[in-house]
Amino acid sequence: RVLEVCALVIGPSTCAFLAEFGAEVIKFEGQRGDNMRFVTPYDYFWKNMSLGLEIQNHNKYWVGMHLGNPKAKELFLDFVKKSDVVVDNLTPGRMAEWGLSYKELKEINSRIIQLHVSGYGSWGPWTGRTSYDAIAQSMGGLSAITGFEERGPIKSGVWIADWITGLMCSIGILSALNYRERTGEGQFIDYLQAENVIRWLDWTWLYAFKTGKDRKRSGNRDLSICPSDLFDCVDGWVALAAFSKEEFQGLCKA
């Protein structure tokens, strides 16, 4: 059972991944509501619910309750007693202000796992700075290597820094659950969005470390595989990739 105290994308997507694989997720939505009710472009659908809210909040139970309220805190702690995981992506320290820090949750349930995810973590000079997807793509280095060399950096067309951070957070929670099965101990996980982006830039950071140079943008080309490109053809764009000699021969024959 997962208790979600989240809004926007990272936290809700973390819990959505867990829900899709069978976890019981209970979402606690504060008095202002999850901002994703309003930010998705183009259209609103059934009862004015936006697509952005639906895509990462399905398979969940919902409770409208602001945990800063003393009565709400009391009810939430009752849930903690019989739950496994608490997830929040609030401003670092907000849960502690409400008396819901990991230390306090652990007193209620010694086996509880709490994951807090934010842009820059709970400690350090940038703690508390707001991080959105475009900022995380930039700070993590993804934007710098995306796009064409003769043009400026470009961000991904989807909130990839949010979604992959959510996926990695869900993996962290599963790892903590596995650890708890072996040891009986819960734990606190502090996850950083910007640092997470760095993790999945393949060989970029090792190249920079070894050579002292930045990786250049290469547009539609894959620098390791030829061909592995997008081509503008007379009847539309075509994606081609041939890794081995046999695949290249087959491509030429086709």
Catalytic residue among 34, 88, 133, 162: 162
Burial of 18-45, coded b for 16+ CB within 10 Å and e otherwise, reads: bbeeebebbbbbbeeebebbeebeeeee
Which residues partner with 69 through β-bridges?
A: none
Q: Determine the Cα–Cα distance for residues 194 and 206; give it in Å rounded to an integer.
A: 17
Is 162 among the catalytic positions? yes
3-state secondary structure 29-69: ECCCCCHHHCCCCCCECHHHCEHHHHHCCCCEEEEECCCCC
Of the chain, the end-to-end C-alpha distance in Å amounts to: 52
Q: Which residues 6+ apart lie within 8 Å of 31 measured at CB?
A: 64, 66
Cis peptide before 153 (omega within 30 of 0): no
Q: 201: closest CA among 241, 159, 240, 164?
A: 164
Q: Which residues are catalytic?
A: 162
